[in-house]
Structure 1
Amino acid sequence: MVEVEVCANSVRSVIAAQRAGANRVELCVNLSEGGLTPFLSMIEKSLSMTDIEVNVLVRPRSGDFLYDDIDFDLMKKDIEWCGKLGCSGVVFGILTRDGSIDKMRCAELVTMASRYNMSVTFHRAFDHVLDVEKALFDVIELGCKRILTPGGFPTAVDGVNTIKRLVDLSEDRIQIMPGGGITPQNVENLIIQTGVKAVHGSFLSPIESKMDYLNPNFSPESDFIQYYSDEKIIKKVVDIAAKF
């Protein structure tokens, strides 16, 4: 069966993922910026209210994946907190200036995660490497469990050929998990075309504000609409993935 991982931007989304039968969540905030490390309170609440596997995104800021010493110290501290709280895994990626995997720093974080028996997913920093094949082998060597990638394109459908290539090259030494624009309408073909064993998506739906008064000087769409993972959409993807 193909696994389904939900990119959960809230405790509400984590609950929806569990109810829909997803295998795990990647917990984060600020999806509009590509995802950032969630609040400590959000991690604690997600763990206390559900028993689904919770992997936490460790990304201290938006922008590129070339981190200075302050950024790196924050990442180490966040991984330590995740381990102490009992998270299932962490998700991160660090690059060097020339677009290579920063093996030295990533190895240090992998070692930290392993002390708490947490798995490691190398995230979409992978889509900004200079040499995809070399990067794949570097991440395998680091001991990461999976790579989250849309194949170097905005969506996994666009990057389907690269994803297939990565699956073939990996020879089951690491899980290649496509993410980016995955829907119930395209997930089946993506699985068939690539042979992946896991897929990833946020599966969001808008939720309107319950406020009785909304200031007419502001746009309701930008200031009062919230987006959460939709249990019904997740369930459709889970049902399709279960066929493989």
Structure 2
Amino acid sequence: MSRTLEICAASLPSALAAQAGGAHRIELCQNLEQGGTTPSYGLIKAVRARLSIPVFVLIRPRAGGFVYSADELAIMQTDIETCRALGCAGVVLGALDAAGRVDMAACRALIAAAGPLCITFHRAFDACPDQPGALEAVVALGCQRVLTSGGQATAEAGQAQLAALVAQAAGRVRIMPGAGITAANIQALTARTGAPEFHASAKRRLPPEAGAGLFATPQFETDAALVAELVALL
């Protein structure tokens, strides 16, 4: 089986490093330390200009849960339209109702805005108490893949559920394990889950930023060598 490595990149340098390391695709976001939010127009445009591999963009207007207001959904639709205009290959989205089920109406509206773009249902899936039911909903929506850790903090912890989801999907949608994917576990996860795609950040911590002072915060960037190691192991 030919397997795909998607790298989550939260900056232009990280996107470039992902491509240099041989990643097959990136998921572009910002605020990765908060689980990722929608990147700026400027970042999307810059990454599209510099990358030749497919760029998928995270559509998530804020950190926190995945029950969205009408105003938030309108913002998300506009962000999706921007991604189409900039020539992105896909978008990464998800919305739930208050009971933790896939919000079919909200997701259908977002997917309609995406038109021909590929659709990944993101880790909102891991907030669903009934993952088998959520998977059938995602299939019914026509999504191409699901990014999931199997409902656990890491894909390694959720590997039994990931294997069950791969079996249930039966090729109707791609199950893409993510969360804590490293060179130390990617081959074992491949063997145990049978998943066709994997999602990782392959990041390293940068030295402290000079002059940040009171505003200093940990900074991470994707490392091309770590990406290349993951690609080789796959």
Q: Normalising by structure 2, what TM-score?
A: 0.96
Q: Match of 1:131?
A: 130
Output the CA distance in 1 between the equivalents of 2:197 and 2:17: 18
Residues of 2 paired with 1:62 and 1:210: CA distance?
Answer: 24
Q: In the TM superposition, what are the counterparts of 1:54-69 in structure 2 within 5 Å?
A: 54-69=55-70
Structure 1: distance between partners of 2:217 and 2:154? 27
Structure showing greater Rg: 1
Please give the per-residue CA displacement for 1:10-33, whole angstroms capped at 9, x wherever unaligned.
011110111111110000001111
Which residue of the other structure, out of 214, 222, 237, is the alignment partner of 2:230? Answer: 237
Identical pairs, percent: 39
Q: Any stretches of 5+ residues in structure 1 without a counterpart? A: none
- The SS at the match of 1:73 is helix
Structure 1 moving runs of 4+ over 4 Å: none
1:198 and 1:38 mapped to 2: Cα distance? 23
Q: Pick closer, same or farther for the CA change 1:214–1:106 going to 2, 3 Å.
A: closer
Q: Which residue pairs with 1:164 in the alignment?
A: 163
Partner of 1:79: 80
1:233 positional shift: 0.6
Q: TM-score, normalised by structure 1?
A: 0.93
Give the number of equivalent residue pairs. 233
SS in 2 for 1:121: strand
Give, as a single letter, the amino acid of the residue that structure 2 aligns with 1:239: A
Q: Which residue of 2 aligns with 1:227?
A: 220
**Structure 1 match to 2:185:** 186
**Alignment pair present for 1:5 and 2:10:** no
Aligned-residue Cα RMSD (Å) equals 1.3
Deviations 1:127-152 (A, max 9, x none): 01121111101100100000000000
